[in-house]
């Protein structure tokens, strides 16, 4: 099978933007602290978040199942493996933080990813994990991506993290619209937009401005963001 990064993550299909940097800064300021500087990106893809975290002072390493991730993410260290079948070369307790977006919904045994994340985290290390919210997406949008196999809701994501042994688990709905992070009351505007029958790409063919499409799309396609801690 073709390398998914070379097929789906070309600059033509998914142009580089400043969103990864905004997201990394938000997650760093909101959920991590100065003691969480060694970070593993599980499912780092072409390295957007890897570079973003590195640019704000993190010592980063990545992991992905695509061989081309090494080239996409250079000069950062990336280990290529199937997380369901193999263990990372990282030592136990060697990482301060683990980040993953969006990976867990692509795995038939997502608990294995969480167990490996817990193994490499130090005591009091944190995991920040993001995935689509099934409640907001439903069957149609979720399975537009044929590699989606495990849908999650707030309760199910919370429970699988607890079953993996994580503590202080928090799960929230999260819109990929930075204005909502700074001004939470704007959530009401996007909830209203979500109620309107406006088509958007990639679910439909649309011809209006890309910026408007982004607002409509991410008013509808809400993520889950979970933060948890390794206690022992």
Q: Which two tokens stand for residue 149?
A: 């196999």
Per-residue model confidence (pLDDT) at position 164: 96
pTM: 0.92
Q: Give the burial string for 62-82 (b: 16+ CB within 10 Å, else e).
A: bbbbbebbbebbeebebbeee
Measured distance CA(63)–CA(76) in Å, rounded:
11
Q: What is the 3-state secondary structure (H, E, C) of the chain?
A: CCCHHHHHCCCCCCCCCCHHHHHHHHHHHHHCCCCCCEEEEECCCCCHHHHHHHHCCCEEEEEECCCCHHHHHCCCCEEECCCCCCCCCCCCCCEEEEEECCCHHHCCCHHHHHHHHHHHEEEEEEEEEEEEEHHHHCHHHHCCCCCCCCCECHHHHHHHHHHCCEEEEEEEEECCCHHHHHCHHHHHHHHHHHHCCCCCCCCCCCCCCHHHHHHHHHHHCCEEEEEEEECC
Measured distance CA(191)–CA(195) in Å, rounded:
7
Q: Give the burial string for 153-177 (b: 16+ CB within 10 Å, else e).
A: eeeebbebbeebebeebebeebbbb
Which residues are 42's β-sheet partners?
Answer: 63
| Residue 57: partners with Cβ closer than 8 Å, 6 or more residues away | 37
Give the CATH number of domain 4-176+222-230; options: 3.30.930.10, 3.40.190.10, 3.40.50.2300, 3.40.50.150.
Answer: 3.40.50.150
The pLDDT profile of the chain, 232 residues, written as one tens digit per residue, is 567 777 777 777 777 889 999 999 999 999 998 888 999 999 999 999 999 999 999 999 999 999 999 999 999 999 999 988 999 999 999 999 999 999 999 999 999 999 999 999 999 999 999 999 998 876 677 777 888 899 999 999 999 999 999 999 999 999 999 999 999 999 999 999 999 988 887 767 777 788 888 899 899 889 999 999 998 7
Per-residue model confidence (pLDDT) at position 137: 77
Q: Which two tokens stand for residue 172?
A: 């929230």
């Amino acid at each position: 099978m073709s390398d998914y990064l070379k097929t789906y993550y070309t600059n033509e299909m998914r142009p580089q933007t400043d969103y990864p940097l905004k997201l990394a800064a938000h997650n760093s300021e909101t959920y991590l602290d100065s003691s969480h500087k060694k970070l593993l990106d599980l499912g780092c893809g072409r390295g957007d978040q890897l570079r973003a975290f590195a640019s704000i002072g993190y010592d980063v390493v990545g992991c992905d199942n695509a061989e081309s991730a090494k080239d996409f993410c250079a000069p950062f260290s990336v280990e290529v493996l199937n997380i369901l079948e193999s263990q990372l070369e990282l030592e136990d307790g060697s990482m301060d933080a683990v980040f993953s977006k969006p990976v867990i919904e692509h795995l038939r045994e997502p608990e294995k990813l969480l167990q490996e994340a817990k193994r490499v985290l130090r005591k009091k290390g944190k995991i920040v994990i993001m995935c689509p919210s099934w409640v907001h997406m439903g069957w149609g949008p979720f399975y537009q991506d044929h590699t989606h196999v495990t849908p999650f809701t707030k309760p199910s994501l919370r429970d699988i993290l607890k079953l993996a042994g994580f503590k202080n688990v928090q799960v929230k709905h999260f819109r990929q619209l930075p204005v909502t992070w700074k001004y939470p009351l704007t959530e009401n505007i996007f909830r209203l937009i979500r109620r309107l029958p406006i088509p958007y790409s990639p679910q439909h063919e649309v011809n209006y401005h890309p910026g408007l499409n982004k607002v409509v799309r991410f008013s509808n396609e809400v993520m889950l963001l979970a933060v948890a801690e390794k206690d022992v």
